[in-house]
Structure 1
Amino acid sequence: MSSPHYNTRWTEQLGTRPVRIANCSGYKADPGYHMFLQAELGDVDFITGDYLAEVNIAENAEAYAKGQHPGWEETAWDGIQQTLDILNEKRIRVIVNGGAQNPKGLAEKIQQLARENHSYVLGDNLIEEMRDIRMNGLPPHLDSDNSEVQYDALTLDLFEKSDKPVVSANVYLGAREILRGLQEGADIIVAGRVADASPVIGAAWFWHGWEETDYDHLAGGLIAGHLIECSGYVTGSNFAGFTEYPLEDLYDITYGIAEVERDGSCVITKHDAKKGFVTEDIVKCQFLYELQGNVYLHSDVKAILDDVQVKGEGKNRVRVWGIKGRPPPPTTKLAIFYRAGYQSEILVNATGYGTAEKFELYESMLRFGLKRLNIADKFDILEFQRIGVPESNPQSQLRSTTYLRIFAEASDPAVNLGLASLLGEFAMQHYSGFHLSSNQAAAIPKPYLSYYPAIWRQENLKTSINLLDISAAEDNATHTTSIPTTPPPKFESLDKRKSYETYNSVDLNAFGPTMKARLGDILLARSGDKGSNANIGFFIPTSLPSSYKPLISSQEPSPLYAESWDWLRSFLTINTLKTMFADSWEPSYFIERVEFPKIYAVHFVVYGVLGRGVSGSSRLDAFAKGMGDWLRDCVVDVPIKFLEGRGRDVKGGGATNGRTNESGVLRL
């Protein structure tokens, strides 16, 4: 329901109430109607959109340079087109990074559609500075300050090999340009590679009139942006506890809104219309997504997360506070993408009896063929990955079938073609029951981009906000006023990242009898990628399973909540995580561990587990999206009282996921 005070011109209300900032996109795939819904379904002051993942700003770089691509994201333009009338009617301002490689072009296109006050941000694109890194030098790696980290063997390829040209190089800008644009009256601001949360920080900064040294406030705005930047991730998508909700309520959802207070604290909410949820557990999951540890870095501020608190305030309203701020680091992140070579992927299936031996035979045969072609040692990466385990006493052929994923990267496409040729050469020499997946086009080598995460000194940036002048636009010419912006007034060098085991650990025997159960029966988790590294956060759920909701309010934590935290922090050590990784653990990986005690969460960063990361990673789950759920499925010794407290069936000798069968008994 609309509130009358939002229908007045909102500029009269600056700083008099929390600012309502809605997000409409977390990736280029989000269609434009999400911007329209955020404007149409209720009252907001700003709509922000994050259209850029690590790689998609690079995907069209060469085509844009050749004049074959506009350089900006079509879905951002689609959203503006659909929403322009209602934006004007409600006086909603828009800040998006959908300009990608060409924010100027998108802003001018919008200007042709609407003669309003628009602007665009420049200064993130450093492709000219990176044209010849072999002469000028390679910027430091993002993890260069961590002596414990071992880089992937191919990390320095773009510097050491002459056939790896850089195609894009963009720094992650802060909110200073956005702030200046709003101060100059811009209704729509188009940016390229600003940090994901920068549009939200800029909106809150402008609304509340913060000083550039109000670090606690800016840090709160940073985390508000972090919470809503990923489409529906804060309203029910990518949520580890989804099994406790009706499945039909978890799609066709609306996205999040942050109500940011003057002190930087916020309430995460959504429009009442349409589907989705905002709960304590959903917000905690998103908070733990893609963290770097207990300090969240941004160009304008460092957010100190140790004392973060999350508490529900009613239906679809969750308050987040306790964030502290410090001056920003002198450097910002620089994402460099380069043409790394060619990738191929082959999938072969095996069914039932002797699956392990079948895959061993096929790998041996292909390696023999590669050696005979004199290309066995020509690959940058060649991995034979066994995906899945056939069901014991299978109830169907599909449940008995798994596949071997053969993943190859090489600088020379002829090497990949040699691998593909073996599919024909050995077509009639194979294991019992051999069959291919239907589409083997991926076996043909395709060029790919790889990623080098670097750092760049903020003082060396040349940034600006560029205002399109509507007063002079009647002659159909583009009139632009460019205003240079300056770096933050103060920097603070980075300290060594915190990593520690729990303080005052509790003897695990003190929690009583245990039974074998999956970690996910009592914990939720969220994982994600930070370049070549993965982050994983585990926490004690606040709400009880859906089967318990008629008995105990889901808004109230279980009586065992605090005691479960003592167990989690004592149990989940660095060595325990290594043990859970099992066959996936490599000695080259390095782990950092911290805790967020006020939300009962343990957080890890696993360095090096994603190879070069992003499009250069050989992992099936290259963005570590599924890592948390894999680890939640590990069977460990769990105190029985915690399983009972979560409504799990302990009489049958196994724990469950909260769904019921026809008899009402909880089952797997």
Structure 2
Amino acid sequence: MSGKHLRSRFEEQGRRPVRIANCSGGRNDPGYQMLRHAERGYVDFITGDYLAEVSLAENAEAMRAEKHNGWFDTCLDGVQQSLDFLAEKHIKVIVNGGGLNPGGLARKIQQLIQEKGYGLRVAYVSGDDILEEVRSELLETKQLPPHLDGDNPDVNLNRLATAFLDTEMKPLVAANAYLGARGIVKALDAGADIIICGRVADASPVIGAAWWWFGWNDADYDRLAHALVAGHLIECSGYLTGGNFSGFDQYNDLDLFVDIPFPIAEIELDGSTIVTMDDTGKGLLNEDTVRCQFLYELQGAIYLNSDVTADLTDVTIKEVRSNRVQVRGIKGSPPPATTKFGIFYQGGYQCQLLLNATGYATNQKWDLLEKQVKYRLKRNGVLEKFDILEFQIIGTPQENPESQLASTTYCRVFAQAPDEVTCVMLRKSWAEFVMQHFSGLHYSLDFRAAMPMRYIAYYPALYPQHRLQESAHILQVDGTTEKCLNAGHPPNFQDPPCKRISFDAEPLPTRTGPTKRVRIGDITLGRSGDKGANLNFGIIPKDSSHWPWLRSFFSRAKLRELIGKDWKDEYFIERIEFPNIQAVHFVIYGILGRGSSSSVILDALGKGFCDYIRDKVIDVPVDIFGHGE
């Protein structure tokens, strides 16, 4: 952008903070969430994150079968509902709702604009789809691209992680690189009002909006790093404003968490941010909700992005008044030379059989079930053909139960196999013993739940940024392309700083006084979630005076102990502290297998892990509570 135009825009905007709203944290957030921001909120941009790791791949298969447009209908619905207000209020939209077909969605929206007679300009960003390139390289070299966690010698990859090298048995479905904000900025410079992206990084729409608004350059690393964190905070929509909040039970009025508003980030010229929301009388936004969301989906103290590397160690989060929380203290530096990309492939087939047992002798009942099923599978010659066969027991019968439901647990017989026939044999083998079952067996629905379904597996890898062919495409009113702008590449790269800061706090002096039995959740808040094969978990004290004890207590060894029977020696734990916000954060490598779409565990997204740990009962020194507790 020329200096003249930059000065003109700054004079018009008065260098005020840019207000960036979020309308979606996933493909199911409805279109009316965009409308709400456009109608009642004073915002400059509306951003939306519609993508999850597996949704691109699911859409890819449906697109090839001509059963899907490749974009997200909820995104289109949001624009369609909001178009009148977008035009009236000059609100710009930046979303990744284009999925695998951002050009198709952009042209559809341009058609809607033309029908209404508005002068809004639409653009889309391309360059993330690298499927054909990856497919050709795999066929030619038979070499694995570097795994996202490959530089960590302590990480053990899942034994099935490299199965996609057999491209005939495990054909590739999609391969998409995470793009930064450069294409978005190019489109805004060219006058675009609505920008449709595919697989840009979750925070890229927010980074691009702030970058363009203030006219930053691509070496304003501290500012870009703050915008990255602002995007990280608001991209999960309701997760910042009361959704998925571990402290919801402290509030008597649960209606507070029904139909909550989605967040807004007010970003200053220096990048520092106030996160806020419309005051509708619903939702919750305070230091606790912001700290919890900050800890979500981190991979340590160093946050890598295509445009900037952010050091989060000294982050500060402070409530300045009701529904307004300031975030600052982020340090930026050049981005890494690589960006993340995901390879998605047909992993085979999976199925589950759900069987219920009531009350008496439950443990023996499940032992008998496993013996029966494995016996028949072996006799049928397929037991060794399964990639995965697990008998997962969910729940514990209530002692002296008050109802039959309180006495009931269920077994999830979960299987994965390369072919459909093997999975079919799970149901068939059990059916052969169906009249030999343990006493009191009953079913969840019926055997249709055991029918095999294809599943998509995931391999997170690294891709050289200099090879990206990222572009912004500006459409004319008839939907044809007026011009195509090369996004270029960052001017400087660096080797990523060490992100595995795995120290434990110095243990506190041994206390010899009395202790009390406490559920961890009574004195802490936290959040957990998935990133590929890994699970992250952050925890903070409810009472700030408990911080010295909490940071000393939550060591890597203690977390392994608390994980209990779910721990496996192939897992690896990293640990980091954020002292300014009194948080301990862990990454548990490998616990989700190959990632959520093919994970064996019931909590495939890792969201329940935090409350599992918070449900543990421990001995806490009485003196940390002070007098009167």
TM-score by length of 2: 0.95
What is the aligned counterpart of 1:482 among 484, 505, 508? 484
Give a deviation string over 1:122-180, Cα, whole Å, max 9, x none.
00001111224142333111101101100111000001463100010001100111111
Partner of 1:227: 233
Whether the 8 Å CA contact 1:58–1:167 is kept in 2: the answer is yes
What is the aligned counterpart of 2:140 among 135, 139, 147? 135
Partner of 1:408: 415
Whether the 8 Å CA contact 1:528–1:625 is kept in 2: the answer is yes
Partner of 2:494: 492
Partner of 1:566: 548
Whether the 8 Å CA contact 1:15–1:208 is kept in 2: the answer is no
Whether the 8 Å CA contact 2:256–2:281 is kept in 1: the answer is no
Whether the 8 Å CA contact 1:130–1:166 is kept in 2: the answer is no
Amino acid at match of 1:639: P
Measured in 1, the distance between the counterparts of 2:14 and 2:418 equals 56
Q: How does 1:252-267 map to 2 (within 5 A)?
A: 252-267=259-274
User: Does residue 191 of structure 2 align to residue 192 of structure 1?
Assistant: no
Q: How does 1:350-389 map to 2 (within 5 A)?
A: 350-389=357-396
What is the aligned counterpart of 2:282 among 255, 275, 278? 275
Give a deviation string over 1:5-50, Cα, whole Å, max 9, x none.
xxxx998643611110000000000000000001112200000000
Whether the 8 Å CA contact 1:164–1:338 is kept in 2: the answer is yes
Give a deviation string over 1:41-96, Cα, whole Å, max 9, x none.
22000000000011001101022134332110000000000000001111100000
Measured in 2, the distance between the counterparts of 1:355 and 1:15 equals 70
Measured in 1, the distance between the counterparts of 2:43 and 2:623 equals 45
What is the aligned counterpart of 1:120 among 124, 128, 131? 124
Whether the 8 Å CA contact 2:273–2:328 is kept in 1: the answer is yes
Whether the 8 Å CA contact 1:141–1:455 is kept in 2: the answer is yes
Whether the 8 Å CA contact 2:387–2:416 is kept in 1: the answer is yes
User: Does residue 163 of structure 2 align to residue 163 of structure 1?
Assistant: no
Partner of 1:636: 618
Amino acid at match of 1:480: E
User: Does residue 182 of structure 2 align to residue 176 of structure 1?
Assistant: yes
Give a deviation string over 1:617-653, Cα, whole Å, max 9, x none.
11101110010110011111123355578x9xx7xxx
Partner of 2:41: 42
Amino acid at match of 2:50: Y
Q: How does 1:251-650 map to 2 (within 5 A)?
A: 251-470=258-477, 473=478, 478-509=480-511, 512-541=513-542, 561-562=544-545, 564-642=546-624
Measured in 2, the distance between the counterparts of 1:586 and 1:169 equals 30
Q: Pick closer, same or farther for the CA change 1:15–1:59 going to 2, 3 Å.
A: farther
Mean CA deviation greater in 362-371 or 436-445? 436-445
Amino acid at match of 2:89: K
Measured in 2, the distance between the counterparts of 1:67 and 1:339 equals 18
Whether the 8 Å CA contact 2:127–2:469 is kept in 1: the answer is yes
Give a deviation string over 1:418-453, Cα, whole Å, max 9, x none.
111123211111111111111432211111111111
Partner of 2:109: 110
Whether the 8 Å CA contact 1:14–1:208 is kept in 2: the answer is no
Mean CA deviation greater in 61-70 or 51-60? 61-70
Q: 1:486 is paired with a residue of what secondary structure?
A: coil
Measured in 2, the distance between the counterparts of 1:632 and 1:303 equals 29
Mean CA deviation greater in 500-509 or 408-417? 500-509
Measured in 2, the distance between the counterparts of 1:643 and 1:431 equals 50
Question: How many residues matched?
Answer: 614
Whether the 8 Å CA contact 1:158–1:338 is kept in 2: the answer is yes
Measured in 2, the distance between the counterparts of 1:161 and 1:185 equals 43
Partner of 2:71: 72
Measured in 1, the distance between the counterparts of 2:567 and 2:12 equals 55
Give a deviation string over 1:333-356, Cα, whole Å, max 9, x none.
101110111010011111111111
Mean CA deviation greater in 607-616 or 478-487? 478-487
Whether the 8 Å CA contact 1:41–1:273 is kept in 2: the answer is no
Mean CA deviation greater in 56-65 or 167-176? 56-65
Q: 2:94 is paired with a residue of what secondary structure?
A: strand
Give a deviation string over 1:474-519, Cα, whole Å, max 9, x none.
xxx6233111111100001124433333444422518x53211111
Whether the 8 Å CA contact 2:181–2:204 is kept in 1: the answer is yes
Measured in 2, the distance between the counterparts of 1:176 and 1:355 equals 58
Runs of 5+ in structure 1 lacking a partner? Answer: 1-8, 542-557, 651-668
Q: Pick closer, same or farther for the CA change 1:478–1:360 going to 2, 3 Å.
A: same
Measured in 1, the distance between the counterparts of 2:14 and 2:572 equals 45
Q: How does 1:80-119 map to 2 (within 5 A)?
A: 80-115=79-114, 116-119=120-123
Amino acid at match of 2:66: G
Measured in 2, the distance between the counterparts of 1:625 and 1:30 equals 18
Whether the 8 Å CA contact 2:504–2:556 is kept in 1: the answer is no
Measured in 1, the distance between the counterparts of 2:404 and 2:285 equals 40
Measured in 2, the distance between the counterparts of 1:349 and 1:303 equals 49
Measured in 1, the distance between the counterparts of 2:474 and 2:623 equals 62
Measured in 2, the distance between the counterparts of 1:641 and 1:437 equals 49
Measured in 1, the distance between the counterparts of 2:488 and 2:224 equals 17
Measured in 2, the distance between the counterparts of 1:587 and 1:322 equals 37
Whether the 8 Å CA contact 2:549–2:624 is kept in 1: the answer is no
Measured in 1, the distance between the counterparts of 2:14 and 2:588 equals 41
Amino acid at match of 2:121: N
Amino acid at match of 2:161: T
Measured in 2, the distance between the counterparts of 1:220 and 1:640 equals 40
Partner of 2:215: 209
Q: 2:466 is paired with a residue of what secondary structure?
A: helix
Whether the 8 Å CA contact 2:51–2:99 is kept in 1: the answer is yes
Q: CA RMSD in A?
A: 1.6
Runs of 5+ in structure 2 lacking a partner? Answer: 1-7, 115-119
Q: 1:114 is paired with a residue of what secondary structure?
A: helix
Partner of 1:4: none
Measured in 1, the distance between the counterparts of 2:523 and 2:622 equals 10
Measured in 1, the distance between the counterparts of 2:111 and 2:416 equals 45
Q: CA deviation at 1:522?
A: 0.5
Amino acid at match of 1:570: S
Q: 2:398 is paired with a residue of what secondary structure?
A: coil
Amino acid at match of 2:188: L
Whether the 8 Å CA contact 1:519–1:638 is kept in 2: the answer is no
Q: CA deviation at 1:396?
A: 1.0
Q: Pick closer, same or farther for the CA change 1:92–1:218 going to 2, 3 Å.
A: same
Amino acid at match of 1:67: E
Q: 1:131 is paired with a residue of what secondary structure?
A: helix
Measured in 1, the distance between the counterparts of 2:510 and 2:20 equals 44
Measured in 1, the distance between the counterparts of 2:623 and 2:75 equals 50
Amino acid at match of 2:511: N
Whether the 8 Å CA contact 1:226–1:287 is kept in 2: the answer is yes
Q: 1:377 is paired with a residue of what secondary structure?
A: helix
Whether the 8 Å CA contact 1:334–1:453 is kept in 2: the answer is yes
Q: 2:104 is paired with a residue of what secondary structure?
A: helix
Partner of 1:655: none
